[in-house]
Amino acid sequence: MQLPQGLAPMTPSTADALAAERAKAAFSVAAMNEFIIDEKTRTQEAKMERIMAAEPETFSVRNKYFMSRHEKMEHALKIGRRLIEMARAGEITSDEITTADVMLDINGPFGLHRAMFIPTLESQATDEQKELFLKPSLQYAILGCYAQTEIGHGSNVQGLETTCTYIPETDEFEVHTPSIRACKWWIGSLGVTSTHAMVMAQLVVGGKNYGPSPVVVPIRSTADHSPLPGVTVGDLGPKFGFNTMDNGFLMLDHVRVPRINLMQRYITVSRDGRVSRPANVDPKVAYGTMVYVRTLIVRSMSMALARATTIAVRYTSVRRQFAGKADRALSAGEESPVLDYGMVQYRLVPLLAQNYAMYATSQAFASHYRECMAELGRGNFAPLKELHATACGLKRWMSDVALQGIDTCRHACGGHGFSQFSGLNEFYANQYPNIIWEGDNYVLSQQTSRFLLTQLRALRTGAHVEDNQTTQYLRRHLTNGRVAGEPRFAGKSVREMAADPQLQLDVLGYRASSMAAKLADKMEGGQSWNRSLVAMQRLSDAHADYIVASYFRRHLAKLPTSSPLLPILNKLAALYFLYVLERHPGDLFRLPAPFTRAQIVEIEELLAQQIADVREQAVPLVDAFGIPDMSLNSSLGRSDGRVYEDYLQRAMEDPLNREDTGPAIRAEWFEKYYKPVLHAADNKKQAKL
Amino acid sequence: MQLPQGLAPMTPSTADALAAERAKAAFSVAAMNEFIIDEKTRTQEAKMERIMAAEPETFSVRNKYFMSRHEKMEHALKIGRRLIEMARAGEITSDEITTADVMLDINGPFGLHRAMFIPTLESQATDEQKELFLKPSLQYAILGCYAQTEIGHGSNVQGLETTCTYIPETDEFEVHTPSIRACKWWIGSLGVTSTHAMVMAQLVVGGKNYGPSPVVVPIRSTADHSPLPGVTVGDLGPKFGFNTMDNGFLMLDHVRVPRINLMQRYITVSRDGRVSRPANVDPKVAYGTMVYVRTLIVRSMSMALARATTIAVRYTSVRRQFAGKADRALSAGEESPVLDYGMVQYRLVPLLAQNYAMYATSQAFASHYRECMAELGRGNFAPLKELHATACGLKRWMSDVALQGIDTCRHACGGHGFSQFSGLNEFYANQYPNIIWEGDNYVLSQQTSRFLLTQLRALRTGAHVEDNQTTQYLRRHLTNGRVAGEPRFAGKSVREMAADPQLQLDVLGYRASSMAAKLADKMEGGQSWNRSLVAMQRLSDAHADYIVASYFRRHLAKLPTSSPLLPILNKLAALYFLYVLERHPGDLFRLPAPFTRAQIVEIEELLAQQIADVREQAVPLVDAFGIPDMSLNSSLGRSDGRVYEDYLQRAMEDPLNREDTGPAIRAEWFEKYYKPVLHAADNKKQAKL
């Protein structure tokens, strides 16, 4: 298919419009990129971009939007196999494979082997078991998955029904699925790929249940991949997204495995059926892994939102619609870029501020995590609970903001956001599970709130309270766990608050503290846990609003005060702060020392100014995220601004249009469906039209 | 693939749990169905359900989730062809074809021929043109589409670039695409199907531009479907949803058509190039069609949300997770249905109230529309502007609530919401365009707000103001367009408001009126249109909150006061009211006569009570929507409650698992991807595991 000859060029061209936005940059985009993206990410991405660009026959994802699920999976397998070859050859690391998956937005079937099977062996296997299972896993001589969730049991791990019963007669465990409800479900890499499953099952020895424990069960032959006896296993079908992954189901019919297959680092079953737990391991270390996974989600959500804001900001800078409504002069015949409209700015620019806050938080939180792990190494388990509670709150907050943000970006692109070529649809669907897995966001907020309420109770009763970032702010704004006296920002105007980082933190800290105190009062007054759940969501988010602001600030503090990056970063931080306030006027009116109506109006006015101001730097700000076109895989977000040319080109590449495939499909459809309709007996006479 | 033998039954079974919920019904589900669903919908759906159930080989959609885009389109073509045959045979009407499409959630390639091409001919063609184009269209001897949007011009119809230039030498029009930006884009039924396009183009006669006018352009041969000379046409590729539709692009390279092809009812070009507009047609009637399409969207959004609430309410009634946290006694060993948790209730139960309000509004608004059209027929154009403004506000409100509601329902189903078998994903994506087409929701709110502001200005200046539902409430709550004195609900407790329909309307009407007055003040004080856009969104929604409440009440007023349906319906209306208030505390604090903090607390407490109360009737309330299992196409929402059995069954039907297809695919993948990984030279020695 060819474009008609003699089409006039677009004036002004979208490429020129994007270049003009770039020319407005008031800071060094490269320096900003170095500051906001952590070094490891930058290095790995640059390396993998280079490697993948050199092998487009394997790694090009331009055609992914045309693929069926079957083709998507095969594409992912091809990429997965090649990356494993490279890793075997020592060209890339296992970590870099993950980086490639993220860059391509392809979650391949080998993924859970690396992400869950191997880490479980590393943390829960004895040395003997490592030799037996970990070593071949690292060589990909066996392929594993982590089979915990059951079709009827998601959040409630204690309620799992699969059993692992010790059979002393043969020195084996019998692993069994008692009912449909116990069918293992959602297990990544299980549907087609795995030869082994790490099955979480109720450990039963001598008739006694010792609770869920992981046991390695071979499920498919490594010789030819056929399911082993007693194993019913398959792919669980198409999903909203993530269709490159073979999430699967598994039922085990009295399957026997040797005793050594039960992970024995934290629990041991002896030949004669005695169960013991080693004394020298604190079970709390298990928290560490959960927290670690959530630090990864925090990081990946920053990157996910950045992909969307990059596309939407670039596109709305070059998309033009109407003239004379936006407050900026136009040349004759020109229409306004839609990013000049107040409502488009209101939807996108605060997302940019949140996105910068997320990246900064992801770095600062990772540091905090490493410090806590170092303490743990010194035998100090004290920081764990706060770390866990904050990780839960941040995971929820980050994934909610990112998912809603991607959706907002899609809608801000207007109708074209709905095309797969926008890069925002398959991507959105692939990111969606982040609000569900590793703790459904609605469940996680309970962990965060429970911790806050426990600290408050301790403060109120005078019990021992650890010193950490959470208790510090609770103490700063409460007296003995209760609201008392004036807040620290009393008498300040909103303009003063927005200009002063400490006041920003004080407002957000006071808000979260007083919400916690109010909820504690109600629950002490008899309000049930179940009736407190809505308030717990809000409390968890208010805590996260504060924590994110605090980490953002901590990261900015790394810059010298003379840094030319600081002016725009401080604007973003103030914008983040004002946006939190503007969306929660109800909270502000209900503070023990409430905001006035005049202050609420001031917030709105200041926010609008700040948004209009930051809008001028929007393109340089997304450029600084440094996301390559290969990852964006988007007509609308192209770095060269050649939006419509690429969009039309991609359409022409659709199998329905391509010269090598289109005519045959269309001819077949014409014979089968169109001709019978157009040429029906009673309208033949009309068919000459 | 077979299930293992000897699986224990689930106790309690999900089917029994759903039956137990049904047994709690405090009203007649059948009577409620008759009251809440309009008769036409009920009748047509029952007929089409019967017809389609009798031909599963054509109409079964159970397998749609496994289909590639190509297969989806072919499936839709097969269904479309069969429905046209039935219509030709006089078995069904054109309207009933649309009903079938909605029930199956399949938007077929013949759709826009009926929805846009034919209606445009009906309203804009002269009698001679009807004979030429409409007659063969009704016989499907030609297939049309409506080509308005261009790749660079969506909302701004006046800015379209395609030209239609009169060539007096040959008595033809030359229709031409000047640049890529003018490429027709998004046009439904264009990608593969249409033989003719109704092209919206700038009419140029004698060098003068008369603005966008529709002209019929033949684009493909009716004999063999090949594109005609000068026509570049194709499908525009995969989308987030709606992939059964062949949205297409079109470029015309100086294509000539006879003069008669320009639609001449509202504008005429004579042989000698004189342009005239008939005097006897009021251009405002064009409003009528736009409003009509929006009444259809209002109705379809009620149905869309109902599908989602049906699935989510049924599933959360039988899904169990944890024990001892929800405030209801359990049998030993039982876990709580997740709908017993406060947070799940808070997310789903208000959606039920909104859903009932939407259905009621859709009926009451349709009546209002018919009354206005009758006035129009009598030459009275006065009601048109209010009708149009309210239709814009309702379309935005309904599609936003429905889309967000479907997403909420999906998430409330937990991880299983992410499976295509939930019925909530492809469906969500197919419904998504409703927030964009027929006016992007962000643009539509400006229409509504502009109307409110114009009325207010008239009230303030003493100019003439029509009497209608909007001006009535503005007058009731404002004095000469300004806030003055006490509101009509002064001194009332929230409990009194929630119990009194008139007070509910007064609170919502006062809120919208005072928001309008405040915005008018600001704009009179110099705030620009562009800086007022955020406030306009909120004003439009506040207006819709009021209008929906008012229509809901009007529909309830049709029941006798003794009706056994009224107790639960009144609870739903009060819940709707309280939920609006609870989500907008900032508005309430900022009213000229603000709510107190004690009242805000009262709102939250009363809402929580009302939600817990209505939860007991949740299953009967969704049963009353009467959506057949064929439409739900969902494991989770099955009316018999056999959720997990069907879910597992569907997974086993995946091509990767089926006996006839699975082994070959898996064997091929093993050879190509798994074996090279598992049996690499350096790990052969491990492969015996």
Instruction: ipTM value, please give it.
Output: 0.96
Name which of B1, B534, B585 is nearest A343 (Cβ-Cβ): B534
**Poorest-pLDDT segment among A153-157, A400-404, A489-493:** A153-157
Q: Residues with Cβ < 8 Å from A489, sequence gap 6 or more?
A: A497, A503, A506, A507, A510
Looking at chain B, the whole-number percentage of residues with pLDDT higher than 90 is: 89
Instruction: Tell me the nearest-neighbour CA distance from A35 into chain B, angstroms.
Output: 33
A 618-677 residues with CB below 8 A of B? 644-645, 647-648, 650-657, 662, 665-666, 669-670, 672-674, 676-677
pLDDT at A689 over 50: no
Q: What is the CATH number of domain B142-281?
A: 2.40.110.10
Intervals of CATH 1.20.140.10 along chain A: 287-621
Suggest the residue from B145, B181, B424 to mutate for an interface test with chain A (most A CBs closer than 10 A): B181
Residue of A nearest to B611 (CA): A531
pLDDT value of residue B560: 98
Mean local confidence (pLDDT), B353-362: 98
Has residue B685 got a pLDDT over 70?
no
Q: pLDDT tens, B634-650? A: 999 999 999 999 999 99
Task: Provide the mean pLDDT of chain A.
Answer: 95
Task: Say if the Cβ atoms of B192 and A81 lie within 8 Å.
Answer: no
What pLDDT does B689 receive?
A: 42
All CATH 1.20.140.10 domain ranges of chain B, comma separated, are 287-622
Residues A332-368 have pLDDT tens digits of 888 999 999 999 999 999 999 999 999 999 999 999 9
Residue B404 neighbours by CB under 8 Å, 6+ apart: none
Q: Output the known binding site of A.
A: 149, 188
Distances (CA, A) of B234 to B177, B188, B279, B302: 15, 11, 40, 34
Alpha carbon distances (Å) from B471 to B368, B413, B474: 15, 43, 5
* Percentage of chain B exceeding pLDDT 70: 97
Q: Which of B240, B344, B529 sits opposite A325 (nearest CB)?
A: B529
Q: How confident is the model at residue B686 (pLDDT cuts 50, 70, 90)?
A: very low
Closest chain B CA to residue A78: B673
Instruction: Return the active site residues of B.
Output: 438
Average pLDDT over residues B30-53: 97
Q: Structure tokens of A339?
A: 């990013």
CA angle B257, B259, B265 (to 5 degrees): 120
- Which range has the worst mean pLDDT, A275-284, A333-342, A664-673, B431-440? A275-284
pLDDT for the residue A206: 97
State the nearest Cα–Cα gap between B102 and chain A, in angstroms.
20
Q: What is the CATH number of domain B287-622?
A: 1.20.140.10
For residue A419, which residues of chain B lie inside 8 Å, CB to CB? 236-240
Choose among B70, B154, B425: nearest Cβ to A240: B425
Residue B285, pLDDT above cutoff 70: no
Residue A343 to residue B533, Cβ atoms within 8 A = yes
CATH (one of 3.30.420.40, 3.50.50.60, 1.20.140.10, 3.40.50.720) for A287-621: 1.20.140.10
The B residues from 130 to 169 touching A (CB cutoff 8 Å) are: 135-136, 139-143, 149, 151-156, 159
Sheet arrangement for strand A231-235: A184-187, A248-252, A231-235
B286 pLDDT tier (thresholds 50, 70, 90): low
* A528 interaction partners in chain B (CB closer than 8 Å): 327
* A239 interface with B at CB cutoff 8 Å: yes
The hierarchical CATH code for the domain A143-281 is 2.40.110.10
CA neighbor of A154 nearest in space, from A443, A516, A365, A395: A443
Across the range B670-680, mean pLDDT stands at 95
- Cα A115 to the center of its chain, rounded Å: 15
* Mean pLDDT, chain B, integer: 95
Whether chain A has a CB inside 8 Å of the CB on B108: the answer is no
Q: Which of chain B's residues have a Cβ under 8 Å away from the Cβ of A139?
A: 680, 682-683, 686
B688 pLDDT band (50/70/90 cuts)?
very low
Residues flagged as binding site of B: 149, 188
Residue with the larger pLDDT of the pair A285 and A535: A535
* Contact status, residue A304 vs residue B508, Cβ threshold 8 Å: no
- Which residues of A are documented as binding site for FAD? 149, 188
Question: Which residues belong to CATH 2.40.110.10 in chain A?
Answer: 143-281
**Could you tell me if A471 lies within 8 Å of chain B, comparing CB atoms?**
no
Q: Is pLDDT at B502 greater than 60 in this prediction?
A: yes
Q: How far apart are CA B557 and CA B241, in angstroms?
A: 39
Query: φ, ψ for residue A380 (rounded to 5)?
Result: -100, 105
Q: What is the DSSP code (8-state) at residue A465?
A: -
User: In chain A, which among 347-406 make CB contacts under 8 A with chain B?
Assistant: none
Contacts of A154 in chain B (CB under 8 A): 321, 414-415
Q: Looking at chain A, which residue has its C-alpha nearest residue B647?
A: A236
Chain A CB within 8 Å of residue B70 CB = yes
Written as one string, the DSSP assignment of A317-329 is: HH-B--SSSSSS-
Which residues in B203-220 are b (16+ Cβ under 10 Å) and which e? Answer: bbbeeeebebbbbbbbbb
pLDDT band at B280 (very low <50, low <70, confident <90, very high): low
Of A153-157, B169-173, B302-306, the least confident = A153-157
pLDDT in tens, B569-618: 999 999 999 999 999 999 999 999 999 999 999 999 999 999 999 999 99
This prediction's pTM: 0.97
Q: Best residue in A189, A602, A656, A679 to probe B by mutation, most B CBs within 10 Å?
A: A656
The 10s digit of each residue's pLDDT in B457-482 is 999 999 999 999 999 999 999 999 99
Task: State yes or no: pLDDT of A461 exceeds 50.
Answer: yes
- Taking contacts as CB-CB distances below 8 angstroms, the residues of chain A near B191 are 656
Collapsed DSSP state (helix, strand, coil) of residue A9: coil
Peptide bond into A383 cis (omega under 30): no
Are B320 and A672 an interchain contact pair (Cβ–Cβ within 8 Å)?
no
Q: Mean pLDDT lowest for which of A213-222, A276-285, A530-539, B114-123? A: A276-285
The pLDDT of residue B683 is above 60: no
Handedness of CA A37, A43, A45, A49 (dihedral sign): positive
Q: Give CA separation, A354 vs A478, A576, B174, B398, in Å.
A: 28, 6, 51, 29
**pLDDT value of position A687:** 40
B1 touches chain A (CB under 8 A): yes
The per-residue pLDDT for range A540-577, each reduced to its tens digit, is: 999 999 999 999 999 999 999 999 999 999 999 999 99
A78 at interface of B, judged by CB pairs closer than 8 A: yes
Whether chain A has a CB inside 8 Å of the CB on B616: the answer is: no
